[in-house]
Structure 1
Amino acid sequence: MSDAKAWIAAPLGFEPSRDERHFFEGERPWGFILFARNIDSPSQLGELVEMLKELGGRETTPIFIDQEGGRIQRLKPPFAPMRPAARALGDLYREDRETGLRLAFLHGRLLAGDLMRYGINADCIPCLDVPVEGAHDIIGDRALSDVPADVARLGRAMAQGCMAGGVLPVMKHIPGHGRGRADSHKELPVVTAKRSELAARDFLPFAELNDLPCAMSAHILFTDIDDKRCATLSPIVIEEVIRGEIGFDGLLMTDDISMKALTGAYDARAEAAIEAGCDVVLHCNGDMDEMRVLAKGVPILEGASGRRAARAEACLTKVSEDEDIAELSDEYDRLMAVTA
């Protein structure tokens, strides 16, 4: 990993083109992320993942995907079973806490099994955002609950299930996207709540799970903390809140740097994110022109960021072949049916 650079790239199609292969070999992203546009058949997907790991130069090259369940599920049947949105787990937890926690663990474990079938080894779960009334539905039922303590407990169980399956979990969107009244894919959400209010609600699940290996930043402007820069680009938010108040010392990756919440040239965006304290910059749309510019703004992944990346990769362990996924799936279905 010594020559990996501090960014995560996304191929455009079913396999890297000649230009993409040459570019990725030269600019050595730390990892890659996949979307529905990259999925054609089970054999093709497995081959793509192997190609990307080869381009990354190591078997532990992280291959990320958003596989939450519900409306955020890149692998759908026949590639993977449909899983419920996270809110269904929170609803069941309110009725039976012990069963709800077991279901959250199984949810993470089964998602990991769905991904590892193709060699995909990193999942952007759990979503730890705590929604408030009037917030944009971009989070909506992706949230485990609107009770911060419940989000923390369920999120912990889900992350443990994911890691038990050998898959790296990425908690999101730190320090909290639940108050956003806009979709950051399209515009910058502005949150005016006081810092003390944010600490008591929005930050709490992340603080409870601050020992997890990886987190994704929120493109949210918190005016009471930094009224000029969104969290992803704010050294105040990252140093004082994420690293300080929340106490997170794992790998911090940006949300997609190409989202319209951000403006400016892509190398400047990347530089600003790294200078603010992000470890790795994520770029998702596969646009080669954007990636060429962005790559100029990211450094070699070394120092504290390199150590955090190494700790994250250490979670990518082989899973015991003795564990019966079908049995776990039957338990999950049975508990969901009984609790419902």
Structure 2
Amino acid sequence: MSAQPLLMLDVAGQSLTHEDRELLRHPGTGALILFSRNYASPAQLSELVTEIRTESPDILIAVDQEGGRVQRFREGFSRIPPMRCLGALYDRDADAALAASREMGLLMAAELIPHGIDISFAPVLDLDFGASSVIGDRSFHAHADAVVALVAAFIDGMAAAGMAATGKHFPGHGFVQGDSHLELPVDHRSLDEIRAQDMVPFIKLADSLAGMMLAHIVYDQVDAEPAGFSRFWLQNILRGELGYRGLIFSDDLSMEGAAAAGSYAQRAAVALDAGCDMVLVCNNRAGAIDVLRYLEQRPASQVVPASSMRAQQHQVSTAALQAARNTAMRLLEEAK
């Protein structure tokens, strides 16, 4: 059996089952994403990660730890405010907001890395058009230039702790009302409109992002395929126009926005053929197994290795971490 490590999957609970171990040892498994169900305490998390790395030493381990309502590990970790709090502060005091954004990136990464977590799928680069409930307060700001400034500071904080950044959801999820977890949204704007608005943060920050996650959205004036399945968006725009050279992640292929592509194997095939380097299958074990069987038959291709995003723990002073925690608490209090 031969397969490239192109799948990111999940595990069942707070310790590994026999089936989890078999899937982690499969050569098609390149990465793992953890969820709230996998977490009870910092000590338990470290034990779970040790188990995982015993089965697959080089695996990339990820989590969604953006802050606000998207924070999988809570008890024992600092509560990170939604990014909209930083945008609100930016409108009052830009310098203070940039300093706070850097602190939030540092805090998030510095608390994850000692437990063996390589990446958090953050930051969100989507603009807040006031339309998307699934994005909403996850966005830093409504204006592209503010998002660029705040996200750049956040990425700088992550880097100071030793974590690479993943921008999402290219080319922009904030304009549509539909939730791609539940449906396939359609954005009717032209490429020029998208390029002048949503794409600005991706264009300006492409060189700072080691990972990029695609949106399950059809931009029907640009291409009939959802962005994550579109060679035009991945090859012509992201790789070509933006010159992006990092790792490209599909969004979760279990989402309804990916269902039109067919079976899980078909979804993975279309995403990989379009140019994704890593496909995600979350919360559907049968779907993940379907993709692994497909990868056993897929011809080898050149991809960006996921190992390029492994975290490197940097020394962060206790004083810097405490200052960041104080800032987080202050932002949360102001948001009440």
Question: What is the TM-score normalised by the length of structure 2?
Answer: 0.91
1:128 matches 2:128: no
Match of 1:208 in 2: 204
Match of 1:82 among 79, 84, 88: 79
Match of 1:257 in 2: 253
Tell me the secondary structure at the aligned position of residue 258 of structure 2. Answer: coil
2: distance between equivalents of 1:72 and 1:130?
Answer: 17
More displaced, 178-187 or 293-302? 293-302
Match of 2:177 in 1: 181
2: distance between equivalents of 1:20 and 1:83?
Answer: 30
**1:92 Cα deviation after fit:** 0.5
Match of 1:292 in 2: 289
1: distance between equivalents of 2:287 and 2:221?
Answer: 32
What are the equivalent positions in structure 2 for 1:50-61 lying under 5 Å apart?
50-58=50-58, 61=59
**1:336 Cα deviation after fit:** 4.6
1: distance between equivalents of 2:266 and 2:51?
Answer: 30
Match of 1:25 in 2: 25
Offset from partner CA, 1:170-217 (integer Å, 9 cap, x none):
111111111122000000010000110000001110011111111111
2: distance between equivalents of 1:302 and 1:96?
Answer: 51
Structure 1 residues 34 and 301, CA gap change in structure 2 (3 angstroms): farther
The AA in structure 2 aligned to 1:280 is M
2: distance between equivalents of 1:80 and 1:41?
Answer: 9
**1:4 Cα deviation after fit:** 5.3
Q: Identify unmatched segments of 5+ residues in structure 1.
A: none
2: distance between equivalents of 1:241 and 1:71?
Answer: 31
Match of 1:42 in 2: 42
Offset from partner CA, 1:93-139 (integer Å, 9 cap, x none):
12111111111110000011221242212111110001324x22100
Q: How many residues align?
A: 330
What are the equivalent positions in structure 2 for 1:236-275 lying under 5 Å apart?
236-263=232-259, 264-275=262-273
Match of 2:215 in 1: 218
2: distance between equivalents of 1:295 and 1:269?
Answer: 12
For the Cα contact (< 8 Å) 1:109–1:158, is it kept in 2? Answer: yes
What are the equivalent positions in structure 2 for 1:73-152 lying under 5 Å apart?
73-76=71-74, 78-133=75-130, 135-152=131-148
More displaced, 87-96 or 330-339? 330-339
2: distance between equivalents of 1:26 and 1:333?
Answer: 40
Tell me the secondary structure at the aligned position of residue 262 of structure 1. Answer: helix
The AA in structure 2 aligned to 1:171 is G
The AA in structure 1 aligned to 2:155 is A
1:72 matches 2:70: yes
Offset from partner CA, 1:140-177 (integer Å, 9 cap, x none):
00000010111111111111211211223211111111
2: distance between equivalents of 1:9 and 1:109?
Answer: 26
Structure 1 residues 68 and 94, CA gap change in structure 2 (3 angstroms): same
For the Cα contact (< 8 Å) 2:217–2:227, is it kept in 1? Answer: yes
1: distance between equivalents of 2:301 and 2:94?
Answer: 42
Structure 1 residues 114 and 301, CA gap change in structure 2 (3 angstroms): farther
For the Cα contact (< 8 Å) 1:28–1:55, is it kept in 2? Answer: no
Question: What is the TM-score normalised by the length of structure 1?
Answer: 0.90
Structure 1 residues 16 and 301, CA gap change in structure 2 (3 angstroms): farther
Offset from partner CA, 1:47-98 (integer Å, 9 cap, x none):
111222232223xx3211111111111111x221211100000111121111
For the Cα contact (< 8 Å) 1:175–1:206, is it kept in 2? Answer: yes
For the Cα contact (< 8 Å) 1:92–1:339, is it kept in 2? Answer: no
1: distance between equivalents of 2:275 and 2:66?
Answer: 27
Match of 1:159 in 2: 155
**1:240 Cα deviation after fit:** 1.5
Tell me the secondary structure at the aligned position of residue 47 of structure 2. Answer: helix
Match of 2:278 in 1: 280
CA-based RMSD: 2.4
For the Cα contact (< 8 Å) 2:161–2:316, is it kept in 1? Answer: no
For the Cα contact (< 8 Å) 1:181–1:190, is it kept in 2? Answer: no
